């Protein structure tokens, strides 16, 4: 009995050991993934790239109107009576126009996207990096030269999406794209719903879809993130997305290349 039973017990112990090892490895992967979503490994420039980072809520994309550089910000997460500040308490700019469009039903507010423009002070323009979005732990994303912002028609179910809100990097997919029209809210031509988790503070964040500048975080639906299309919002504000390091603008004389 001893000679027959011992190998069986050893085999069982090996199976249990292997199960424990697999479980521990899975836990390590989960922990590593969680750490990757909150810990950055890329440099912070001076001045920093604010696109994708915390500004009131979270900043969006860099754009320009003529010779003016702006950063898109959430249209519902700012206070016109309070100028925006950086982490050191310095004023970084002034509030510009909100995205709006006409025609619009009487008594309602319509917009292509949920954004307002932040006109940056000269010392807070990150020359040489205006075509970047800082996704924090997810790293920087470069807006390809000559590319265009995505519109409602470019957003499709199943497309891969990513963003960094509240300095937490997340990835997922679009699960629905529909017009957004509720009597107690603004009217948007479309809202893309994703399977990514969302919470207060994510509003305004830059969303990239399949690596392209796609949208602005706007709403939360049962804990999941919804965003409005970027192209329509920029069109409302007559802004051009920055796709070059200096966005086609002339640097001040004292500014040098990074």
Q: In the structure encoding, which two tokens stand for residue 35, read together?
A: 């750490």
Contact 205, 217 (CB under 8 A): yes
pLDDT bracket for residue 90 (50, 70, 90): confident
**Rounded Cα–Cα distance for residues 53 and 51 (Å):** 6
From start to end of 90-211, where are the E strands? 93-98, 115-120, 132-134, 140-142, 160-165, 168-181, 187-197, 206-209
End-to-end Cα distance, the chain: 78
Q: What is the DSSP code (8-state) at residue 146?
A: T
pLDDT for 12 equals 58
Per residue in 224-256, pLDDT (tens digit) is 999 999 999 999 999 999 999 999 999 987 665
In terms of Cβ atoms closer than 10 Å to its own Cβ (0-12, 13-18, 19+), residue 245 is middle
Q: 0.85 exceeded by the pTM?
A: no
Per residue in 192-225, pLDDT (tens digit) is 999 999 998 999 999 999 999 999 999 999 999 9
Contact 257, 244 (CB under 8 A): no
Residue 168 pLDDT more than 80? Answer: yes
Q: In the Cβ-directed half-sphere of 54, how many Cα atoms lie within 13 Å?
A: 9
Q: Please state the rounded mean pLDDT for residues 9-36.
A: 44
* Structural domains present in the chain: 54-241 (2.40.10.10)
Contact 185, 76 (CB under 8 A): no
Give the residue from 142, 129, 130 showing the smallest Cα distance to 212.
Answer: 142
Give the residue from 72, 54, 77, 78 showing the smallest Cα distance to 120.
Answer: 72
**CA-based R_g, the chain, Å:** 23
Q: In the structure encoding, which two tokens stand for residue 211, read together?
A: 């690596």
Torsion of CA 193, 220, 73, 61, to 10 degrees: -30
**Rounded Cα–Cα distance for residues 139 and 141 (Å):** 7
- Residue 64's φ and ψ, nearest 5 degrees, are -140, 155
109: CB partners within 8 A, 6+ apart = 100, 186, 187
């Amino acid at each position: 009995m001893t000679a027959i039973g011992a190998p069986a017990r050893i085999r069982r112990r090996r199976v249990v050991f292997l199960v424990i090892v697999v479980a521990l490895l899975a836990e390590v992967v989960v922990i590593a993934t969680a750490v990757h979503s909150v810990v950055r490994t890329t440099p912070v420039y001076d001045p920093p790239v604010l696109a994708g980072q915390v500004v009131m809520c979270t900043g969006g994309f860099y754009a320009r109107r003529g010779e003016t550089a702006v950063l898109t910000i959430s249209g519902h997460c700012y206070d016109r009576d309070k100028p925006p500040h950086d982490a050191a308490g310095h004023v970084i700019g002034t509030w510009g126009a909100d995205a709006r469009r006409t025609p619009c039903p009487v008594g309602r507010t319509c917009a292509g996207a949920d954004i307002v423009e932040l006109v940056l002070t000269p010392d807070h323009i990150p020359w040489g990096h205006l075509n970047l979005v800082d996704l924090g732990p997810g790293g920087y994303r470069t807006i390809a030269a000559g590319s265009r912002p995505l519109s409602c028609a470019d957003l499709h179910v199943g497309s891969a999406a990513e963003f960094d809100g509240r300095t937490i990097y997340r990835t997922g997919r679009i699960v629905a794209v529909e017009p957004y029209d509720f009597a107690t809210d603004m009217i948007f031509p479309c809202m893309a719903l994703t399977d990514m988790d969302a919470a207060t503070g994510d509003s305004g964040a830059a969303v990239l879809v399949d690596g392209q500048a796609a949208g602005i975080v706007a709403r939360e639906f049962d804990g999941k993130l919804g965003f409005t299309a970027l192209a329509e919002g920029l069109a409302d504000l007559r802004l051009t997305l920055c796709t070059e390091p200096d966005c086609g603008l002339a640097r001040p004389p004292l500014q040098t290349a990074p």
